[in-house]
A and B are shown apart, each in its own frame.
Chain A
Amino acid sequence: MEFDLKTIEALAPDQASLSAASKLTKRSNWPRLEKNEALALMWGECQGSGSNPYRVVVDTGDHGYKCTCPSRKFPCKHSLALMWIAATVPTSFTPADSTPEWVNDWLGRRRKTTPPSTQQASGAGGKSIGEAARTDESTEVEDTAAVERREAAQRKRAEETRSSVSAALDEMDQWISDQLRLGLAGFVDNSGDRCRRIAARLVDMKATALAGRLDEIPSRLMSLRSEERPDAAIRELGKLVLLAKAWRAAPDDPEMKRLVSTSETREQVLASPHAVQVESAWEVLGEKIETRRDGLVSHSTWLLDIRSAAPQFALLLDYFPASAGRRSNAFTPGDRFDARLIFYPSRQPLRALVMDRKGKVSSGEWPAVASSETDPLATHLFCQDAAPWLTDCPVMLPPGAILLDDRGAPWWQAAGDPNGIALPINEAVSPTLLGIDLAATVALWNGSRLDLLAARSSFGRLDLS
């Protein structure tokens, strides 16, 4: 059963969804559009506002659909847009013999439903494709005075935000001084409440990103042993003071705005002349999915440039509400693909967006770790020189192994290292890993612990995230 526009009208939850979908029907939004007629399936990847593309699959037989976006409208605008393309430009879909693994996963989980009746399909309930298309086409022509008024209002809002953030930073500075005066022992013990209160103030005063970071301090402290917490508290609070000073020195700097108030949109990053673009082959090292105290889930996907001579990393970072449930991942650890990435402007570019994802790459080795490097954390020190407010830094460690201390806690140690340098690991590791020599390991160093992502060994690639 193919799609017609009436069916799409009937499936759409409201007129707004149809209007939003109409804007996504441009081919450029869809780096991938494929179909398998035998299985009555079509699927695609739509580049949404996040770092990862949304994956959409539609069953043309019974009009079942699934999208990885966090929208609570069903079907979402991405699913509607895919159906719309199928109805209007079916040649956009490349025939595929096999279905991708994520489509298979959905097929394996779903329960087939009966296709909606034609009566139901014919009742569009006041929604109109024509109107949606017209809304899209009709761009209102503003007069010069209106443009000036709008820009003046934007400038005024920006000025208000800046003064509000400035006041927020003053309040945070005072709060940090209070913590030092009252004692960090008490702060560590009550960090949950204390951080929550100041974070709420910062949100009110538009320093949202900084509030999110403050909110995470208690869990970062609690992941350490009690004797390590005061030092960690000094590091965390000291970095906040430093960040506040850096913002005051350059409040319009995109990196400072991102770290203190709000992040740029995808469009702003794409339009930024300072954003570095790198076209290369990338390997997905691993993912970290963490639920934050502010109710958001942060989904980090770490990539490694496998064509670079020295280790170069990229981070695809998305946030979505925890209430949206678990999202399926756009990448699988170990995947390798050619892509052009654009990095958010930064002193230490790391966070990136996929501009253009191409085909899969099968060959390519990890860059060699400099054997002359005596300090496995040299990359971290370099990162700190450039951006001392950063907390987590990806590092590629030289040959080594995982060992256990007397308490059973794991440590990474360099192979044959006469200095006995060892770095503690954040979480328990698989017992099997204790017997495997690691030729190279990629991990995140947060100043206290390693968070393992992946490693190479005589047993091949090891997923450790």
Chain B
Amino acid sequence: MSAPLLVFDDVTYSYPGVEEPALSDVAVEIQPGEFCLLAGLSGHGKSSFLRAACGLVPHFHGGRFAGRVTLAGLDTREHGPSRLGAYAGVLFQDPETQLVMSTVRAELALALESRGHGSTAVARGVEEVALALGIDALLDRSTHQLSGGEKQRVALGAALAGRPRLVLLDEPTSQLDPVAGDELIGLLRRLNQEWETTIVLAEHRLERCLAAADRVIALEHGRVGCDSDPQAFLAWAEKRAPALQTPAAKLFTHAGLHPAPAGVRQARKALRAHGLLTEEHGLPEIAGPAAPRRTRRRDRPKAALELRGAWHELRDGPAILRGVNLRVAPGESVALMGRNGAGKSTLLRHAAGLLQPTRGDVERAGRVALLLQNPGDYLIHEWVFEEAPPEALAAAGLAAMSQRNPRDLSGGERQRLALAIVSGSGEPPAVLALDEPTRGMDRAAKALLAEELRTRSAGGQAVIVATHDPEFAAACADRAVLMADGRVIADGTSAELLSGGWYFATETARILSGAGGALLPEEGAELLRRQAQQTRDGGAAAPEAEIAPGAAR
């Protein structure tokens, strides 16, 4: 066995001015060529782990550091991030702060030039990394003209330009749509398999990358809770950290099937082996929940929000919205989906009156509260009590925190505070619109937010959420609207829309081929149990699956 590439030797680290350690007694060895997934809830040490691996901790951040980290044999206490950068490329969450030059070519060349490579090596390095990542067509583009996905690829290219042996990635897909996210994970897989680049990837949506990983390190309160292969990790998560379970694993847990699968392909293979999935069509036709019948126009209640033929045309530029018709009834919850640049955010801005359509019109039954992508943009005061009225803080469960600085709140708390700010304390808004509210959120925080939105729509508020996360859309919305190129291209119940695709579908729906419109693991498990029951009642050969007694919920 070759020498480990990255070694954490009983590392304990605390940020300056913070008593509680971000990392506690972390002891890990990562071998060359491994694809390692870093799992854990927000604030449990994933980013600190990555920053310690590349030397930013302690050199850049300061703080108290005990133990030792060695990268390619270099002790990070003796060598700074600049020196270590020759061995480790780093990709952070926000692509905007990782592009420092004006053109893509200059961006890719910078790391090589900084390290004193000659002109031939720079030119060759830029060309090769651009070809490897499929960004050669972007080389002469300005960096501020790129889409989010393109920016993230270029930032990855800049990290890889020096051909580092290790790549550290901190939630690189959190700002990408499902297509761009899958492309990025595919790229990492290729880097790992074809060039044996060691990958350490911190990610909340484990279902995206678990199948590609050799190993999962789960951090709990800065300690290593689990360090094993994906299968063993899922078994550990089922018992110790259900919030880290993937939807596929949850589906199997709820259906009483074991072992939990690492991805869609493995899950389908297991279900086939258990006789619960036929070869050609997936699950046999089982009636799912009936789609709500469309009401006649004159029977429809007054809309909470209605866009009629709304266009948003830029002067000297393209049309961002193209004749959008959308009607949202009071108490309805709608998920707005589509790729980056499809027009979702613009539509929400029109709904809230921040923009006026260049053609068409928007009608609102009352106030539209809009929560934009970054809750931090709302927080301008020094105290929480200055940000929102006491009643709104109490309603958001933040009354006890009113004497704290908003910037000291956790991500979830900041979002609740921003929600309290836009909701206000008087008459509740007729419509609550949220733009990408789950960016960088862990599964537990997403579940809480979905519950909050369900409560609001049950109380009569129309809720409209732009999201890239099909699991969150399924959890919080009854209806889904798919946008592309400024148009609504599909509009139906969540069960219809999120069950029949590759990208805009939940993992449960992809495993079950959309059978019965089951989107969430609980619904899928119910479907599987009924299927197993039918098989037994029909006198067919008993499935090999062990459906655990009492597993039904």
Tell me whether A and B are bound partners. Answer: no
